[in-house]
Amino acid sequence: MISIEGLSKVFRLKQKNITAVDDMSLTIHDGDIFGVIGYSGAGKSTFIRLLNRLEEPTNGKITIHGEEITAMSKKKLRIARQDIGMIFQHFNLLWSRTVSENIAFPLEIAGVPMEERKKRVSELVDLVGLKGRENAYPAQLSGGQKQRVGIARALANNPKVLLCDEATSALDPETTDSILDLLVDINERLGLTIILITHEMHVIRKICNRVAVMENGKVVEQGEVLDVFLKPNKPVTRKFVEQVMGDPDGDHNQLLEVYSSGLVVRLHFVGESANQALISKISREFQIEVNILQGKITQTKLGAYGTLIVQINGEPNEINNTIGFIKEETSVEVEVLTHA
């Protein structure tokens, strides 16, 4: 488990104090893929560099697997960092070294014998899907291949924690998805705890179990990804959810201008309810007509989440019975947007 208590970082710039991370507290469980999301300047990059003390904290405590990182001497910290791998937005590869030599670099620093290094490099090349590219130089690789080298290098010393600093921001969408799939595979195979910072909600949606939202150095919201998607509490969180789901209020206001008859409702589907054949069921059960106006369902790592805006026409009594049935007999949430 990773415990972060009251973590702060204050920079002194032009005789002013700039607070990059402000009294941050989090608990991250073993084996989690934990996302930290925020816009530029939110403090997320500083936060992740505090975890392995690439930045020294001003205040607070970081404990990883029972070891207090913030209290370690520099000598002990060098050893502890072998358990904390890190990958970067711009890869940070050694351009004069081949793929194999880049991956072997942390093993050389750790004093691992050559034969053992070769074996470990071969294992990692297979793991990240770079078989046949061992002797290529970074300039000969695509962006996705460079990041795979970065991931393999970060895994060289068998770390227990992998820190990802905007690891997909420099990649195109298709390559991003392939790197995210690789991180999920590594998490499941190795039981590795992954902490991933990003400004893209798509990344959080695709692979994270839990998420913390940062703004102005503070964590303003946190929880399971599915819960945050369903009920974002803070304006900044709602903006991130809109990256994936669109602006629900803007969408439904436009629809209400066009569809003024009957009852217009928004149905919220979560988890297993997203697979229910609800529309066909209520159309059979009640004397109503259902017109689907708009809908979107997206997958998170913990299940599906989606909304469907529908217009229900019929006698008022039948419409009321329909709404009552959905509320009482299904796990779908109903939000009435306009009354008949």
Phi then psi for residue 211, to 5 deg, are -145, 145
Sheet holding 288-300: strands in order across? 288-300, 303-314, 263-270, 333-338
Whether the CA torsion 237, 238, 241, 242 is positive or negative: it is: negative
Phi then psi for residue 144, to 5 deg, are -65, -40
C-alpha atoms less than 13 angstroms from C-alpha of 207 in its C-beta half-sphere: 29
- Give me the DSSP letters along 282-297: HHHHSSEEEEEEEEEE
Cα 21 to Cα 39, 43, 57: the distances in Å are 14, 6, 9
Nearest in space to 135 (alpha carbons), one of 156, 120, 149, 123: 149
Task: Give dist(CA 267, CA 288) in Å, integer.
Answer: 16
* Structural domains for the chain: 2-243 (3.40.50.300), 248-338 (3.30.70.260)
Task: Give dist(CA 298, CA 305) in Å, integer.
Answer: 6
| Contact yes or no for 90/59 (Cβ under 8 A) | no
pLDDT (tens place) for every residue of the chain, 340 residues total: 899 999 999 998 888 999 999 999 999 999 999 999 999 999 999 999 999 999 999 999 999 988 999 999 988 988 888 899 999 888 889 999 999 999 999 999 889 999 999 999 999 999 999 999 999 999 999 999 999 999 999 999 999 999 999 888 888 989 999 999 999 999 999 999 999 999 988 899 889 999 999 999 999 999 998 888 878 889 999 888 887 766 555 555 555 555 556 788 888 877 655 556 788 888 888 998 988 887 777 777 766 777 888 889 889 899 999 999 988 888 888 888 875 4
| Contact yes or no for 266/326 (Cβ under 8 A) | no
Residue 133: both structure tokens together: 């590219």
Nearest in space to 167 (alpha carbons), one of 176, 154, 158: 176
